Amino acid sequence: MCGIFGFTTENAKNAGEVLIDGLSSLEYRGYDSAGIFTPESGAVKAVGPASHLKRKMPAGFFGRSGIAHLRWATHGEPTEENAHPHTDCEGEVWLVHNGIVENFKELKTKLAAAGHTFASQTDTEIIAHLVEEHLKTEPDFAKAAIAAINEIRGTYGIAMQYRADPSKIVVARMGSPVVIGIGEHERFVASDPSPILRHTRDVVYLEDGEVAILTPESHEIYKLHGAPVERAAERIEWDAAAAQRGGYEHFMLKEIMEEADAVRNTSLGRLIEKEGMVKLGGLESVEEKLKQVKRIILVACGTASYAALAGEYMIEEHARIPVEVDIASEFRYRTPVINDDTAVVAVSQSGETLDTLEAIREGKRRGALTLGIVNAVGSTIARETDAGVYLHAGPEISVASTKAYVSQLTALALFTLFLGRQRGVSIEEGRVIAEALKALPERIEEIYKRTKDIQRIAKKYADARDFLFIGRKYNLATAFEGALKLKETSYVHAEGCGAGEMKHGHLAMIDEHFPTVAIAPSDSVYEKTASNIQEIRTRKGPVIAIATDGNEEIKELANDVMYIPKTIDMLTPILAVVPLHLFAYYFARQKGINVDRPRNLAKSVTVE
């Protein structure tokens, strides 16, 4: 979950500025401390964001190479001692690391017996000492580093340097993303492309079990056992400006206001309205296999799992294929029943979520067709699945996922139509779905015009400490997503539940101080949801309703109403969630919370 960045160049550089700039663009991944190192100027560390580190950095922090790190603590508290980069006994080997060294205790015991002393509580530090130990018998830094890496068990993205060989950076990957940037007379390394794009758009992604040796003029990639790897560079089309706030106060608000474009871009070039079909180029290679699939397992974590839940309802109702949704962090520890007529589909914004990646790998080991629905082009899930669908939502910076969620829902709706037309959905039904999908961006833009009303409602309830979110059918997922967004951005207690489940426990919490957000569009289960709202009002619970334009009767049931335009049932979650995202944003702003970087959370969860 941490962020790594580094560079080596033949050009004169203000290393401090380059490294701080790189870290700043990675802060969305989460942080509690930061640090930088250059062979020429040494190391600086600080608790907190990159801006704290910048204040501590001495003048004249120059160099032609360096490594930097944002830490999100796993082993050891967030202190300067535990902040990266870490070094060996002599201060010669320095490294930054994202991941967990599972065998660090036994390695630390062995190194301590050999006379090594340690300055931190982290598992990362032992890697530097391992390299130091190997340098005693192998003077070549790269070979010593690779020998040390071969002793590690666990997950890692690593970048390391050696004072005696300052232009060289050794990087390695196992379960944690590493990207190499290729510039003119310079090379870069990072956890994702965002800090590299300030310098070059040409990148190479490392695969698991690979190491690379970077110099200003070259990058050599090897398997850990020594075999060389040839891999062409990829060109990233979006630039660093796409990841900037664009005049909005926060990335979260910017990204909510990009949800219409996210839906539009996910559907762009894929809808064939006249034929009631979609064209998904990423699935063409497995189209015949998909016709034979008898069961689908959707695996995801967090927000993506709620998109998958809505996708389950879509696929089963319209494509008539049995679907189950598994939280990826649990799936990998089950013994799932999978065979060659099963498709395991990963839903992930980053394409790097470790649990989701491991779920895909488990599915592949058991003979399933594996597919990915991801946003990040070139991500690990995108590369390791048999085929997939890219979201094209653009970079998402705020930790709280918003536009990627509506893009995932849109991609799952397209996937549903694709499967449905394979399996007997009529051209007429297909046209209805395709036309409704095409109309969604304009419908979302209508919701934006009501932002002031949503902001007013958020202000009205700003003192509430507890919320219940209820929904049915497709909007059960919306209830979970609305609750998640509110609690992760505002630190209040919020629960999602099926509206029909309230009598089984949740109703006990309701009183005049416990508001409920009821997702109640005019769909096939509206009457049932309206009855549940009445149960809450009878117990004096305040209700905020999400309702369809033209529904006036709901004003008699709910204290406040946020309206959405009409659409077909299966697409209501895409519209209903937009006011909930705006509500969460404005609610958090009432509390003065940095909504882009909620405490204790990170954007991409690449460790267990």
Domain coordinates in residue numbering, the chain = 3-240, 244-448, 450-608
Which phi and psi (to 5°) does residue 123 adopt? -75, -25
Mean of per-residue pLDDT scores for the chain: 91
What's the CA gap between 398 and 62, in Å, rounded? 31
The residue behind tokens 């009529």 is 426
DSSP state of 543: E
193-200 mean pLDDT: 89
* Residue 11 pLDDT grade (very low, low, confident, very high; cuts 50, 70, 90): confident
Q: What count of other Cβ atoms lies within 10 Å of the Cβ of residue 594?
A: 14
Residue 25: CA atoms inside 13 Å, Cβ hemisphere, count? 25
Does pLDDT of 242 surpass 70? no
Instruction: Give the strand pairing for 466-471 and 493-498.
Output: parallel
Does pLDDT of 552 surpass 70? yes
Indicate the residue type of 454. I
DSSP state of 58: P
Does pLDDT of 607 surpass 60? no
Given the residues 54, 403, 473, 603, select the one marked as catalytic: 603
207-230 mean pLDDT: 94
DSSP state of 175: B
CATH class of 3-240: alpha beta
Residue 314 corresponds to which tokens in the numbers above?
């879509």
* Span between the terminal Cα atoms of the chain, in Å: 10
Q: What is the pLDDT of residue 49?
A: 79
Closest to 412 in 3D by CA, of 427, 432, 391, 430: 391
Residue 2 annotated among the catalytic residues of the structure: yes
Question: In this structure, are residues 45 and 87 in contact, taking their beta carbons and an 8 Å threshold?
Answer: no
Does pLDDT of 20 surpass 70? yes
Q: What is the pLDDT of residue 8?
A: 95
Cα distances from 511 to residues 358, 539, 557, in angstroms, run: 43, 6, 16
85-92 mean pLDDT: 96
* Residue 340 pLDDT grade (very low, low, confident, very high; cuts 50, 70, 90): confident
Closest to 370 in 3D by CA, of 399, 402, 347: 347
Question: In this structure, are residues 31 and 24 in contact, taking their beta carbons and an 8 Å threshold?
Answer: no
Residue 557 corresponds to which tokens in the numbers above?
């049931």
User: Do 3-240 and 244-448 have matching folds?
Assistant: no
Q: What is the pLDDT of residue 73?
A: 66
Element of type H or E holding 488: helix 476-490
Answer whether the bond into residue 85 is a cis peptide, omega within 30°: yes
* Residue 68 pLDDT grade (very low, low, confident, very high; cuts 50, 70, 90): very high
The residue behind tokens 């494509």 is 319
- CATH superfamily placement of domain 450-608: Glucose-6-phosphate isomerase like protein; domain 1 (3.40.50.10490)
Residue 28 corresponds to which tokens in the numbers above?
């969305």
What's the CA gap between 478 and 313, in Å, rounded? 12
Closest to 409 in 3D by CA, of 310, 489, 480, 327: 310
Q: What is the pLDDT of residue 603?
A: 61
Q: For a pLDDT cut of 70, what percent of the chain falls above it? A: 95
- CATH superfamily placement of domain 244-448: Glucose-6-phosphate isomerase like protein; domain 1 (3.40.50.10490)
Q: What is the pLDDT of residue 25?
A: 82
For the entire predicted model, the pTM comes to 0.71
Residue 460 annotated among the catalytic residues of the structure: no
11-36 mean pLDDT: 81
